[in-house]
A and B are shown apart, each in its own frame.
Chain A
Amino acid sequence: MSNTKYILHTIILFAIQLFILDNIQFHSYVYMNIYILSILILPITMKKTSVLIFAFLAGFLIDIMSNTMGIHAAATTCIGFFRPLFLPNNSGTVEVATNRRKERFGWVFNYMFSLTLIFNVVLVMTETFSFDNFGITILRILFSTVVSCVLMLLYYFIAIKEKQK
């Protein structure tokens, strides 16, 4: 994916997040966050620290816009921190190694779901800021993770993924 394309996707994702998803009052159990896809689709070869700082800035931007100072920043920084764990060790080999469509989907799903789960754990816990009603907190985390994951997968497979031959 070229840089311009990548920047375009980032802008689109932020626009969707800020102008569409943030205006949907779905339910207090569900947070829809598609913008974190812009962190997930960063090149594998990008430096870890740069990803971390980018993630922080992305979360901070959303915080400013939606007036939730620091909550998103904390969560996205966590994504930046844990992202290397879910990436294959040899950078760039993923494209080669996972040629088959099925495996590829499995890897993308696994990667997205894990990081979205981490993101939502931090996000919801930071917002709740207590361990009271922990069951409800877990439900919110799970619902938010599933919904965000579905949205991101949709976007990924519709807009980003290059068609296989």
Chain B
Amino acid sequence: MRNILKLILKYHFIIVFILLEIIAMSLVVMHNSYQNMLFFRHTSAISTSISDHLPAFEQYFNLKKENSYLEDENLKLKNELEKIRTEIRFSFSDSLAENRSFDVDYVYLPAKAVNVTINRTKNYLTIDKGSNDGVNENMAVCSYQGVVGMIKNVTNNYSVVLPLINTSLRLSAKIKKNNYYGSLQWDGEDYRYSYLRDIPFHVNVEQGDTIVTSGFSSIFPEGEIIGYVESVDRVTANFLLIKVELATDFNNLYQLYIISNKNREEQTELEEKAYNE
């Protein structure tokens, strides 16, 4: 306090000068309409430019919240879309579908990746949803980029996913533009690329073609993006080996969603029955 007083005393001349100038300038701005107009034109320009830029900064603080809203919204829309698809299918159906309720086939649940490995031949992925959340084995897992894998083991709160980059996963996939299908299996090397086999040699495949799920397995809905054709080789006489650049970046996984097929059990039961006969 004493030091502050000393300081004020030492610089009292400058302080008085500044005070008087401030008084004079505020008088100028308050009582002269021309200066007032100019002053407030400039200050309002400054304040509007600040208030223009401020929301851009504030947005960053809300990104997380915003993100989760979008996520929820996205899932809701996906579920809605599934409902509409079902309705459309039934409305154009030529079967005797009157008794069937308009039940959706696929339900989407949100999940987050908690542990990912990418550098082994049998990679696994752990997610934070388990049987308590209604997750079962053999459900599909996708990210917003594309297919991730299918659920292998389930505990109460966690599930282990068998991702595309595990050599023991074989997935039925097809070329989107002409619906030829083959099986996708990883070679255990680069986590960015997988290989699609069993496509006949006469099929026209070009670099950049989209590879999607076929929907045969009853795990994945049809048309989920797996990746894009990187290169095509004819290794055997009759079949092509297509190198696929995976759409999902396994090194950067966080937001996932689980897709459960309600009619899966019915389908597998029926198929088993048929095979066993």
Q: Is B a genuine binding partner of A?
A: yes
Taking beta carbons and an 8 Å cutoff, which residues of A are in contact with B?
A: 48-49, 52-53, 56, 59-60, 63, 68-71, 73-74, 77-78, 80-81, 126-127, 129-130
Q: Are B17 and A74 in contact (CB under 8 A)?
A: no
In the complex, B88 has a CB within 8 A of chain A: no
Q: Which residues of B contact A70 (CB under 8 A)?
A: 23-32
In the complex, B216 has a CB within 8 A of chain A: no
Q: Which residues of chain B in 24-44 are interfacial with respect to chain A, using CB atoms and an 8 Å cutoff?
A: 24-32, 34-35, 38-39
What DSSP secondary structure best describes chain A's contact surface?
A: helix
Please name 19 further chain A to chain B contacts, defined as beta carbons within 8 Å, in addition to the given A52-B20, A78-B21, sorted by A numbering: A48-B13, A49-B16, A53-B16, A53-B20, A56-B24, A63-B27, A69-B32, A70-B23, A70-B27, A70-B30, A70-B31, A74-B28, A77-B17, A80-B17, A81-B17, A126-B28, A129-B28, A129-B35, A129-B38
State in angstroms the CA–CA spacing of A56 and B22 once bound together: 11
Q: Are B38 and A59 in contact (CB under 8 A)?
A: no
Q: A52-B16, A77-B20 are in contact. Are A129 and B31 (CB under 8 A)?
A: no
In whole Å, how far is B41's beta carbon from the nearest beta carbon of chain A?
9
Q: How many A-B residue pairs have CB under 8 A?
A: 62
Q: Which residues of A contact B12 (CB under 8 A)?
A: 49
Q: A53-B20, A56-B20, A77-B20 are in contact. Are A69 and B38 (CB under 8 A)?
A: no
Partner of A74, one of B24, B31, B39: B24
Q: Interface residue tally of chain B, by bracket? A: 20 to 34
Q: Which residues of chain B in 153-209 are interfacial with respect to chain A, using CB atoms and an 8 Å cutoff?
A: none
Q: Are B20 and A73 in contact (CB under 8 A)?
A: yes
Q: Are A74 and B21 in contact (CB under 8 A)?
A: yes
In whole Å, how far is A104's beta carbon from the nearest beta carbon of chain B?
28
In whole Å, how far is A80's beta carbon from the nearest beta carbon of chain B?
7
Q: Which residues of A contact B34 (CB under 8 A)?
A: 129
Q: Which residues of B contact A71 (CB under 8 A)?
A: 24, 28, 32
Q: Which residues of A contact B16 (CB under 8 A)?
A: 49, 52-53
Q: Are B23 and A73 in contact (CB under 8 A)?
A: yes
Q: Which residues of B contact A74 (CB under 8 A)?
A: 21, 24-25, 28
State in angstroms the CA–CA spacing of A77 and B25 once bound together: 11
In whole Å, how far is A117's beta carbon from the nearest beta carbon of chain B?
18
State in angstroms the CA–CA spacing of A77 and B34 once bound together: 22
Q: Which chain B residue has the least Cβ–Cβ distance from A82? A: B17
Q: Are A130 and B38 in contact (CB under 8 A)?
A: yes
A53, A77, A126 interface centre (most CB from chain B within 10 Å): A77
Q: Which residues of A contact B27 (CB under 8 A)?
A: 63, 69-70, 73
State in angstroms the CA–CA spacing of A127 and B12 once bound together: 28
State in angstroms the CA–CA spacing of A78 and B25 once bound together: 12
Q: Which residues of A contact B39 (CB under 8 A)?
A: 129
Q: Are A69 and B31 in contact (CB under 8 A)?
A: yes
Q: Which chain A residue has the least Cβ–Cβ distance from B39? A: A129
In whole Å, how far is A53's beta carbon from the nearest beta carbon of chain B?
7
Q: Which residues of B contact A77 (CB under 8 A)?
A: 17, 20-21, 24
Q: Are A59 and B24 in contact (CB under 8 A)?
A: yes
Q: Which residues of B contact A129 (CB under 8 A)?
A: 28, 34-35, 38-39
State in angstroms the CA–CA spacing of A69 and B23 once bound together: 11
State in angstroms the CA–CA spacing of A127 and B36 once bound together: 11
In whole Å, how far is A114's beta carbon from the nearest beta carbon of chain B?
17
B25, B26, B28 interface centre (most CB from chain A within 10 Å): B28
In whole Å, how far is B15's beta carbon from the nearest beta carbon of chain A?
9
The 5 closest A-B CB pairs, nearest first, are A70-B27, A69-B31, A70-B28, A74-B24, A73-B24
Q: Which residues of B contact A59 (CB under 8 A)?
A: 24
State in angstroms the CA–CA spacing of A77 and B20 once bound together: 7
